[in-house]
Homo-oligomer: A and B are copies of this chain.
Amino acid sequence: MARILSGKELAAKMRQEMQTELTELKSKHNLVPSLSVILVGDDPGSISYVKGKEKACAYVGINVQKYKFDADYPQADLLKLITDLNNNPDVNGILVQLPLPDHINEEKVLYAIDPEKDVDGFHPINVGRLMIGAPGYIPGTPHGIQQLLLRNDIDISGKHVVIVGRSNIVGKPLALLLVQKKPGANATITMCHTGTRNISDFTKLADILVVATGRPHTVNAEMVKEGVVVIDVGVNRIEDSTKKSGYRLIGDVEFEEVSAKASAISPVPGGVGPMTITMLLHNVIQAAKKQKGISKI
């Protein structure tokens, strides 16, 4: 049976490390990192994600200012708020929870955030830095996947990493991150997606398989080779009457059968999810330190 790559455990460990660092940062430099979180509308998923981020920030010692608006909040007001936060030296990071309501141009909003406060790493300038290997904010999910592998002593260099899914927040930035000629990267990368003719031709070749399609049952045991390392990024709600909530979460991978063949696998929940938030915390801390001249990121 495969080793379980517990993001939950690793995230707990890393957050404890961060807590220690922030205690020191406060006593030595009187610095408490500060994150502004903007939530527009009542999407239940977004509300729950923001709650998770607030809780994690509170735990490690990051101040959060939450701005919550109704779904009809005007775009111009949102852009004005972002400008104010950009100009406020007490704000280290700015996070706009996605998706935004339809009347708001998401791209315009993300571009408006000062790249130095863009702790989600979604501003094109940070994307560009990621591609060319320059210092910048790496988006939480790809960064969390890299850490989950490395901190479990899974070498990435020289491995064939097959990524299923080409989203702007997982597939493409992960490819750019892991292809770099750097320690903890240097992988051969294949990117598959809905346009790939026969996905199993590629998944079978993977030493490390990352599945981020948002579709349950994307990968089963027949589609992987013996000993593969599997990272399951999917978070899918399926009905389950035995649960109080009426549903449970599953990934994009058939966990039971694939874990019988894999050497290591990340579970859902408790795999990539907690790592994503942890790397956001990391970015906020880096932003605060950089803006106060305490260290470079």
- A residues whose Cβ falls under 8 Å from a Cβ of B: 107, 123-129, 131-134, 136, 157-158, 166, 168, 172-173, 175-176, 179-181, 186-197, 202
Contacts and interface: CB of A to CB of B under 8 A. Distances in A.
26 contacts: A124-B124, A124-B127, A124-B128, A124-B131, A124-B132, A124-B134, A124-B136, A125-B125, A127-B127, A128-B128, A128-B131, A132-B168, A158-B195, A158-B197, A166-B180, A172-B176, A175-B191, A179-B191, A181-B195, A188-B190, A188-B192, A188-B195, A188-B196, A188-B197, A189-B190, A190-B191
A112 to B, nearest CB: 13
A193 B181 contact: yes
Nearest to A162: B190
Q: How many copies does the complex hold?
A: 2
Contacts of A189: 175, 189-191
Question: Does more than half of chain A's interface fall in helix, strand or loop, or is it mixed?
Answer: mixed
A173 B128 CA distance: 10
Nearest to A110: B132
Interface centre among A134, A158, A191 (most CB of B within 10 A): A191
Contact of A126 (B107, B128, B180, B195): B128
A168 B136 CA distance: 16
A127 to B, nearest CB: 3
Contact of A124 (B125, B186, B191, B197): B125
